[in-house]
Amino acid sequence: MDTPNTSDRRWIALIILCAAQFMVVLDASIVNVALPSIQRALDFSQENLQWVVNAYVLLFGGFLLLGGRAADLLGRRRMFIAGLGLFSLASLVGGFATSEAMLIAARGVQGLGAAILSAAALSIITVTFTEGADRNKALGIWGAVAGSGGAAGVILGGILTQSLGWEWVLFVNVPIGIAAALLARVFVSESRREVAERRFDLAGAVSVTAGLIVLVYAVVRATDVGWGSVETIALLAVSVALLAAFTVIELRTRAPLMDFKIFRTRAIGASNLIGLLTGAALFAMFFFVTLYMQNVLGYSPLKAGLSYLPLALSIIAAAGVASQLTTRLGVRPVLFGGLVLVAGGLVWFSQVSVGGSYVSDILFPSVLAGWGLGLAFVPQTIGSQAGVKPDEAGLASGLINTSQQIGGAVGLAVLSTIATSQTNSALAAANGAASAMPAALVDGFHWAFLVGAGIAVAGALLTLALIRDEEVEMQPTGVEEVEMQPTGEPAIEGA
C-alpha cells in the first residue's frame, strides 16, 4: 500500500507530466491563428507557410515510436527531461527566427522534442499507477489535458498573437518547459527496462522513423499535388517499403524496437486502430471549424480562439466523468458512446450555413463533440495500455500517440482534398464568381464534416467488434517508482 508521501508524490508527478503534455498538444494548434502575422513578419510565401505546422507534425509523428523505445532503455525520466530541454530550446530559437528556414527548422526540432517527451510521459504514468481505478483516474486527467490542448492552443494563439505578437506563441513554452524539467528531477522517479544487455535496434529505428515521416509527408503533399500524382504514389510506395522492411527487421532481430508480442492483448491493437480514426476526426474538426469561423463568418483570430472555450471545457468535464465511468462500466461502452457523440457533433457541424450564428452552428455541436471526445480519449488510452508490462510502457505509449498523430495527418489530408474538390466544383458551377466563394467553402465543409462523422462511426463499430472488457481488466502490471541504477551502456545493433 502506498504511504501518504508516496501517493502525494505520484499525483504531483502526474501534474508535471500533464503540464508538459498540454504544452505538446497545444503547440500543434497554437500557431494556426498566428500564421497570417508570421507570414507578414518573415515574408513567407503562401506555399511555404503550411510548413510552419507541417514540420512539427512530421517529426512528432515520425519519432514517437523511437522516443518510446529510448525511454524504456535509457530511462523514462531522463528522456522526458531531455525532450523538454530540446522542445524549450527550439521554442526559444523559433521565437527569435528571422527567416522562413530558421522558423521551419525550429518547428521541426520542436516536433522531435515533443515526440521524445510525450512518449516518455505516458510511459511514466503507466509504470507509476497500478492498473485499475488509480490508473483510470490518472489517465482521465491525462485525457482531459490531451483532448483540451488543441482547443486551448487556438484560444491562446489568438490571445497571444493579438496582444503580444506571434513570437509569444513560441516563447510561452520556454518557462513552462524549464519549470517542468526542474520539478521532474524532484518528483518524478527514474525507471527503465532492466535487461542484462541493452541493445538499441538501429536498423528498426531508422526504417520505422523514415517510413512514418515519408508517409506523413506524402499525405501532406497530396493536398497540393494530388493523390494520383507521380510524386504522391512514389512517396507512398517508399513509405510502404520502409514499413515493410521494419516489420521484417523486427521479426528477425534479437532486441526489436517493437516487439509484436505487445499485441497479445487484442485491446491494445484495437485501441490503436480506433485511436487512428479518432485522430482523423479530431484534426479535421478543428481545422474546418476554424476555417468556417474566420473565412465565412469573418471572425478575428481572437474571437475564433475564444469561441473554442466551450469545446475545451466540455472535453475536460467529460474526461473527468469518463475515468469514473470506465472503472464502473468498462472501456467498451464508454468508448462507443463517446465516438457516437463525436459523430453526432460532426453531423451537426455539417449543417453550417453562410449566414450561420455562433449558438446554433458552433456552440451546440462543439459541446456535443467535446463531450464525445472527452469520453472517447480516456477509455481509448486505458485500452492501449491494458496488460502492458513495465518494460513495454514506452512502446505502448509511443504506439497510441503515433496512431492518433498519423491518423490526424492522414485524415486531415483526405478530408481537405474532399472539401477542396467540392468547393472547386461549386465555384465552377457559379462560373468562378467571387460572390459565390462563401457558399462554395461551406459546401466543401459540409462534405468534410460528413465524412469525418463517418470515420467516427467506423471507430464506434470497431469498438463493438474488437474491444472486450474482460481483456482490459487484467492483472496489475506493477509499479516502478524506485530509482533503477544503470547496468551498463546500451549497445548499438546495426542492420
CB–CB of 476/130 below 8 Å?
Answer: yes
> Mean pLDDT, to the nearest integer, of 427-431?
82
Beta pairing class for 199-201 and 491-493: parallel
**If you write DSSP's letter for every residue of 460-488 in order, what string do you get?**
HHHHHHH--HHHHS--------S-----S
For 181-195, write each residue's pLDDT tens digit: 999 988 888 876 665
Per-chain mean pLDDT for the chain = 81
Q: pLDDT value at position 245?
A: 93
For 234-279, write each residue's pLDDT tens digit: 999 999 999 999 889 888 887 777 777 777 778 888 888 999 999 8
CB–CB of 409/239 below 8 Å?
Answer: no
The proportion of the chain whose per-residue pLDDT surpasses 70, expressed as a percent, equals 89
Q: pLDDT value at position 198?
A: 61
Residue 71, pLDDT > 90, answer: no
Residue 495, pLDDT > 70, answer: no
For 103-121, write each residue's pLDDT tens digit: 999 999 999 999 898 888 8
Residue 455 CA to residue 366 CA, distance in Å, equals: 17
Residue 167, pLDDT > 60, answer: yes
**If you write DSSP's letter for every residue of 10-68 in order, what string do you get?**
HHHHHHHHHHHHHHHHHHTTTTGGGHHHHHHHHT--HHHHTHHHHHHHHHHHHHHHHHH
Q: pLDDT value at position 477?
A: 44
The total number of residues shown for the chain amounts to: 495
Q: Which residue type is seen at 16? A: I
> Which residues on adjacent β-strands are paired with residue 200?
492
By CB atoms closer than 10 A (0-12, 13-18, 19+), residue 56 is: buried
Running DSSP on this structure, what letter comes out for residue 342?
H
Grid look-up 509527408 returns 217
Cell readout for 368 is 456535443
Residue 56 CA to residue 90 CA, distance in Å, equals: 11
Q: pLDDT value at position 1?
A: 43
Q: pLDDT value at position 471?
A: 63
27-36, 61-70, 204-213, 449-458: range with highest mean pLDDT: 449-458
Q: pLDDT value at position 484?
A: 40
Tell me if residue 130 falls in helix, strand or coil: coil
CB–CB of 152/398 below 8 Å?
Answer: no
The domain ranges of the chain are: 4-190+255-476, 201-254
pLDDT level of residue 336 (50, 70, 90 thresholds): very high
CA–centroid distance for 124 within its chain: 18
Q: pLDDT value at position 464?
A: 92
The CA-atom distances, in angstroms, between 127 and each of 59, 120, 195, 385, 394 are 26, 11, 16, 10, 9
Tell me if residue 55 falls in helix, strand or coil: helix
Residue 31, pLDDT > 50, answer: yes
For 457-485, write each residue's pLDDT tens digit: 999 999 999 888 666 654 444 444 334 43
Q: pLDDT value at position 200?
A: 67
> Mean pLDDT, to the nearest integer, of 74-84?
90
User: Domain 4-190+255-476 classified CATH 1.20.1250.20?
Assistant: yes
For 215-228, write each residue's pLDDT tens digit: 878 877 777 788 88
Grid look-up 490508473 returns 135
Q: pLDDT value at position 351?
A: 92
